Amino acid sequence: MKTKLNKFLLVFFMVGAFSCKKDTVEPTKTTSGTTTTTTSPNAAANSWVYDQLKEWYLWSDKLPTKDKTDLTLVTGKDGEDDTKKYYFYSLLNDYPNTDRFSWIRENIVDLNNSLSGVSTSFGFSRTAVYLDNTQTNVVFFISNVILGSPAEKAGLKRGDIVLTINGTQINGTNFSSLITNNETATFGLGEFKNGTYVLSGKTITATKAVVQNNPIQFTKIIEKGNKKIGYLVYTQFLETYDEQLKQVFGQFKAAGVNELVLDLRTNGGGRISSADLISSLVVKNLNTNNVIHQDEWNATIKAKYPSVATPTKFSNQPNNLNLNRLVVLTSNGTASASELVINSLRPYMDVVIIGQNTYGKNVGSITLKDETTPARWTWGMQPIVLRTVNSKGESDYGTKSGFTPNYIVSDNIYPFKPWGDESETLLKKALEVITGVAIPAEASSNRSFRTIDKAAILEEYISDNPADNRKDMFANLPVK
C-alpha cells in the first residue's frame, strides 16, 4: 500500500550506502608549517556516517558532537558490535540496550539482497540442541526449508534430524562453522533409537546457491464443526509476494474461511507495506478511514518532511476476511513487522497470541548509501529512524519481553512435525482455542517425539545464512 511517503515498506528501509576501501586505523601525520595534523583512511567515511545519523537517526539528539568522536576507528563490520573498535556502533544510543537494532554492512548490494529475502545459502533453518547433559554433541532439528532452495531440492525437509556434516559430528564448538565454512555439505540424518539419537544411514548432499525466499511457506484450510480455519505459515514480509498473498486470501475467502491462524514463529520482519497489507486483509469491518499505525521520526525529519505526520490507513482489499479474531503463533524470533501486525490490529479485533514472547521491536530503519557518483564507499547502513504506534497510541512491546502470549506454549517437542499437522504443538493449541475441543495427544507409546528442556537448546529457528537472522522493519525515504 502506498502513502504520501511512497508508502512504508516493512522490515523498515531506505537506501543510501557507504563503504571504505581500507580497514586500517593507523593514522598518517602531515605537517604544514609548524602545525601537525592527524588524518585517517577512515575519517571521510566516518564523517559521512556521523552526518547521516545526525539527520536521520531516531535518537539524533543523543549523539555527541562530531569533534568528540574518534574518526580514526574502523567504520564498521557486519555482525560486530564492539563500540570501542567500530565507529558506527560507537555512536548508537545505549547500544546494545536501547538501540540493539541498527546495523551496518560492507556491501550495499548484499544488504539490499538480505532485506529482499535473497541469500547465498543451503536454504534451511534449524534448532540446535545438546544431545545429553555433558553439553558436548549437538543435534540439528530442521525447522524450515525454503521452497526451491538447494536443501529442498536435495530432499531435506522440516522434521529431519541432522547429526553430522561432511562426516563430522556436530558439537557445541563447531555447530556454526560447519555450516558457514562449507559450500557443499553432506548431512548425516539421524533417528531416535534405544533412548538416543543415532545415525540412520541416510545422507543428503546440497551445495549453496543464491536463494530467493518465498515467504508463503505453507497454506491449508482446516474444517472442524462450523469452523473453516485458514492456516498460513508466513516467513518474511516481502513486497514482491504481495500479489500472491492476496491470491491466498482470495482462496480463503472463496472457501468461506471464518478463522485464521497466522504462523509467524519463523518471521523476523520485513517491509512495512506488506505488514499493512496483511492487516487490511484480516481486519474486522475494514474501513479505509481507520488508522493502522502512526510513525514517529526525529524533529529534523518531521520539519523537513511534513508528510511523515500522515498516518497509515487501511487499504481497500476485496479479499478481506472480516474476521472477529486473529490467532498468531509466535516464538522469540517473531519480530518487527510481525509485531506491527499484532499491535496494529489490536484496537479493531481480538488478537490471540499462542507460543512464546515475541522479540520486542517497535522501531524501523532505512538503508543509507553514498549517493555520490561514482560512490566513494560501498558501505550500507541500516539505522533506526522511526517508532510505530497504533491507532490508540500504543507501542509498549519494544522491550526484550516483546508481546506476552495469551497462551504460553513451548515449541520444544522434537523432531518438528510437518507444517499443517494438526497435532503439531502450536497449531494443536490454536485449533483447541478456536473450536473449544481438545485434540488428543500423541500416544505415549510413540517415543519418536521428545520434549526437550529449554536449557539444552543452543539456538532456535536459526537460518544457515547468518544474514537472514536479522530482525528488520524498514521503510522508503519520505518525500516532501
Please give the helix or strand (H or E) that residue 251 lies within, else none. helix 242-254
User: How many whole angstroms from its chain centre is CA 332?
Assistant: 11
Based on the fold, state whether residues 133 and 273 are members of the same structural domain: no
Handedness of CA 193, 198, 203, 208 (dihedral sign): positive
C-alpha to C-alpha distance for 408 and 410, rounded to whole angstroms? 7
Residue 70 and residue 340 in contact, taking contact as beta carbons nearer than 8 Å: no
- Does residue 78 form part of some domain? no
Based on the fold, state whether residues 267 and 327 are members of the same structural domain: yes
Pairing between β-strand 291-296 and β-strand 384-390 as defined by DSSP bridges: antiparallel
C-alpha to C-alpha distance for 411 and 225, rounded to whole angstroms? 27
CA distances from 254 to 177, 243, 247, 249, 318 (A): 47, 16, 10, 8, 11
Based on the fold, state whether residues 345 and 197 are members of the same structural domain: no
Based on the fold, state whether residues 190 and 262 are members of the same structural domain: no
Q: What is the CATH number of the domain that holds 305?
A: 3.90.226.10
Pairing between β-strand 259-263 and β-strand 325-330 as defined by DSSP bridges: parallel
Query: Each residue of 451-468: b (16+ CB within 10 Å) or e?
Result: ebeeebbeebbbbbbbbb
Phi and psi torsions of 22, nearest 5°: -135, 135
- Does residue 315 form part of some domain? yes
Residues in the chain: 480
Question: Residue holding cell 480463503?
Answer: 252
Handedness of CA 168, 174, 179, 181 (dihedral sign): negative
Based on the fold, state whether residues 227 and 181 are members of the same structural domain: no
DSSP 393-461: S--TT-STT-PPPSEE----EESPPPTT-TTSHHHHHHHHHHHS-PPPPPPTT-TT-EE--GGGEEEEE
Based on the fold, state whether residues 353 and 246 are members of the same structural domain: yes
- Does residue 335 form part of some domain? yes
Based on the fold, state whether residues 222 and 326 are members of the same structural domain: yes
* pLDDT for position 477: 78
Domains identified in the chain, total number: 2
- Does residue 307 form part of some domain? yes
Question: Residue holding cell 534405544?
Answer: 194
Based on the fold, state whether residues 264 and 395 are members of the same structural domain: yes
Q: What is the CATH number of the domain that holds 127?
A: 2.30.42.10
* pLDDT for position 134: 86
- Domain ends where: 212, 245, 272? 212
Based on the fold, state whether residues 246 and 355 are members of the same structural domain: yes
Based on the fold, state whether residues 257 and 290 are members of the same structural domain: yes
Based on the fold, state whether residues 283 and 318 are members of the same structural domain: yes
- Does residue 388 form part of some domain? yes
- Domain ends where: 212, 238, 272? 212
- Does residue 73 form part of some domain? no
- Tens place of pLDDT per residue across the chain (480 aa): 444 444 433 333 433 433 333 333 344 444 445 444 456 889 999 999 999 999 999 999 999 999 999 999 999 987 777 778 999 999 999 998 999 999 999 999 988 998 899 999 999 999 999 988 888 999 999 999 999 999 999 999 999 999 999 999 999 999 999 999 999 999 999 999 888 899 999 999 999 999 999 999 999 999 998 999 999 999 999 999 999 999 999 999 999 999 999 999 999 999 999 999 999 999 999 999 999 999 999 999 999 999 999 999 999 999 999 999 999 999 999 999 999 999 999 999 999 999 999 999 999 999 999 999 999 999 999 999 999 999 999 999 999 899 999 999 999 889 999 999 999 999 999 999 999 999 887 644 455 788 888 788 999 889 997 767 878 888 877 877
Based on the fold, state whether residues 256 and 388 are members of the same structural domain: yes
* Residues 213, 215, 216, 218, Cα dihedral to 10°: 80
- Does residue 378 form part of some domain? no
68 in helix, strand or coil?
A: helix
The domain of 180 spans 118-212
- Does residue 155 form part of some domain? yes
